[in-house]
Structure 1
Amino acid sequence: MRCQTCGDATSPEHHECQRCYTPLGQPAVTPGLPTYRVRGIGLAANVAVGATAVLYLVVALYPLIGMVMARRAMANDDPDLLVSALIISAVVALIMTVAQLTAAVLVIIWTWRARKNTDAFPGAEPAFGPGWAIAGWLVPFANFVVPARVVAGVARDSLWRRATPPLVAVWWCSWLVFSIGERLATRADDRAYEKLAETPFDDAGYQAYVDHYQDALLRNTVPALGCVIAAVTLILLIQRISAAQEARIAHATPQWPTAPIWPAQVWPAAQPASGVQSAPGAQSASGVPGVQPAAAAQPLSEVPGAAPAS
């Protein structure tokens, strides 16, 4: 007997498949329970996550540009360059925030669908309901633990693991480093910027802006590293889980037979001449009743029982 999920041979000594942990005799997907496509939404989430990571790197490294503009403002005694640097930084941060919100929505939708699919996988052992795939990100303090546990359960049940894949731990730890580090760095930047002179009048005032951007660059190093690691690991998790779930659902989908192909009708090469007809009920070599090829047609006078022509 073979497992209906992975196709491996099973043994009656075990009550479940030793590879995918599907109970013996159970199908790959429980009939009657809904399943959802996750490949498309997973691809969209990966694109949004990657775009967010790239934009955050631009924000994190922007102090390099700010330092250049601050030095140029000091050389030219032009405070307007400092205002321009601030405006550009705000625009880039706004674009990054929009991308981050888009990625968050897509990841939540993907997580809910992937978690919902595991309800239809015999042998799955989810620890949280599908609703926690959404609420886990929104409930204060719970959002430090619940999303990771939901994704860990989905990964175990989709990738045929009893233990949580290490990739989940790497993703969540790096995400916490990024999330907490980014907030702390932003608050520190805001407090430091408030201490700067709105309009510097001497080199010391301009130099304060240069030092501010240098400190901001150092503060952004840790959250930037966490952002890159979190993005790469999350993209890998979404890709692997989506592929595994789609394959399992496709394996359980019945292959309906196609419509029968009717044989093409074969017509005789030539029509019988006038006064010549086929015998009633006669069947031609082509298999079409009542139709005789021209070469096999019989004169009416040779048909038994037929009256001679006048």
Structure 2
Amino acid sequence: MRCATCDGETSPRLSDCPTCGTPVGAPAVNPGVPTRSVHGVGLAASVAVAATTVCYLLASLTALVGRVLAERAARTEDQDTLLVAGFVELAANIPYLLAYLTAVVLVIVWTYRVRANLDAFPGSAPGLGAGWAIGGWLVPLVNLVVPYRVVADVTRASVWRPGTARLVGVWWAAWLVFLVSERWTERASEREFERLSAYPTIRREFLDYADQYSAALNRSIVPMVACVVAGATLIVVIRRVSAAQQARIGRGRPAAPMVPGTLVPYPVAPGTTPPPPMPPPGAGGTIRA
């Protein structure tokens, strides 16, 4: 007998699965408890996270463009060339913000659905209610701990693979590093820009802008690496949890009832002649003149 939760071998002599603790013989899904499809929203959240990661990298790398334009402006002492660098940075940040907001909404929706599905899975014992799957992301300071706990509970109850559980820890650690380093980088760049001349006229003032772009690029290395690690691990976790829950929901879905009157094929051994078809009900009797 195989466990409906972890698909491991169980023994009728045991009351619970030795791997996951699910009662032996329990169904894949508790009857009467609603479940939610997570395949579509999981795919959409994965795409949004990937798009956010790419857009952030592109927005950070605009410092390279800014440095080149600032050096060109220093050679020509042209303020318009320096303004182009600002427009490039602004144009790159708009897609990032849109992708980020989309990813936030989709990840929250996905987190709520996969957490709510645990209520229908025998053997799952989440430590937090389904409401925390939403509120945990929105409440300040709480959002530094609770989303990790919710996703960790979901992963343990959905994917019985130690590697995936470790990925959740890597994702959350990288996410926290990204939040802190990105905020520090942004504030440091703002302070440096405030010290620059608003209307540069000489070569040295233009070169100060080039130096600032170089410093901003160097500072963004840590948040860029953290962003890539957090985005990649989150996508893997979303895909594995979604696939595992969809498979379990499919195993727990009752078979379609047979329509009365449906003909069931008679099993025939190879090399033998099939029996004649049975007459429909009420078709028996003698032929009358």
TM range (shorter): 0.7 to 0.9
Shifted more, 104-113 versus 136-145: the winner is 136-145
Cα distance in 2 for partners of 1:198, 1:179 equals 29
Greater Cα radius of gyration, structure 1 or 2:
1
Matched, 1:248 2:245: no
SS at match of 1:165: helix
Determine if contact 1:67/1:213 at 8 Å carries over to the other structure.
Answer: yes
Match of 1:81 in 2: 81
Offset at 1:14?
Answer: 2.7
Match of 1:145 in 2: 145
Match of 2:212 in 1: 212
Unpaired segments ≥5 residues, structure 1: 264-285, 293-302, 304-310
Match of 1:186 in 2: 186
Comparing both structures, which one devotes a greater share of its residues to helix? 2
Cα distance in 2 for partners of 1:111, 1:135 equals 11
Cα distance in 2 for partners of 1:125, 1:105 equals 26
2:31 alignment partner AA:
P
Cα distance in 2 for partners of 1:47, 1:115 equals 20
Q: How does 1:48-127 map to 2 (within 5 A)?
A: 48-127=48-127
| Aligned positions, number | 272
Distance 1:204 1:148, change over 3 A: same
CA offset digits 1:82-115 (Å, max 9, x no partner): 1111122112112211110110000000000000
Cα distance in 2 for partners of 1:155, 1:210 equals 46
Cα distance in 2 for partners of 1:58, 1:72 equals 21
SS at match of 1:185: helix
CA offset digits 1:52-109 (Å, max 9, x no partner): 0000001111111101111111122211111111122112112211110110000000
CA RMSD after TM alignment:
2.4
Determine if contact 1:21/1:160 at 8 Å carries over to the other structure.
Answer: no
CA offset digits 1:139-177 (Å, max 9, x no partner): 111111110011000000001368981101100000001
Determine if contact 1:153/1:164 at 8 Å carries over to the other structure.
Answer: no
Determine if contact 1:185/1:216 at 8 Å carries over to the other structure.
Answer: yes
Distance 1:8 1:95, change over 3 A: closer
Offset at 1:12?
Answer: 4.1
Distance 1:154 1:214, change over 3 A: same
Determine if contact 2:46/2:238 at 8 Å carries over to the other structure.
Answer: yes
Using the aligned pairs only, state the percent identity: 48
Shifted more, 240-249 versus 18-27: the winner is 18-27
Q: How does 1:251-262 map to 2 (within 5 A)?
A: 251-259=251-259, 260-261=261-262
Distance 1:87 1:7, change over 3 A: closer
Match of 2:272 in 1: none
SS at match of 1:60: helix
Match of 2:231 in 1: 231
Offset at 1:3?
Answer: 3.5
Match of 1:175 in 2: 175
Q: How does 1:262-301 map to 2 (within 5 A)?
A: none
Distance 1:262 1:141, change over 3 A: closer
1:165 alignment partner AA:
A
Cα distance in 1 for partners of 2:110, 2:84 equals 39
Determine if contact 2:6/2:160 at 8 Å carries over to the other structure.
Answer: no
Distance 1:258 1:6, change over 3 A: farther
Offset at 1:289?
Answer: 7.6
Determine if contact 2:28/2:249 at 8 Å carries over to the other structure.
Answer: yes
Match of 2:36 in 1: 36
Cα distance in 1 for partners of 2:63, 2:79 equals 17
TM-score under structure 1 length normalisation: 0.81
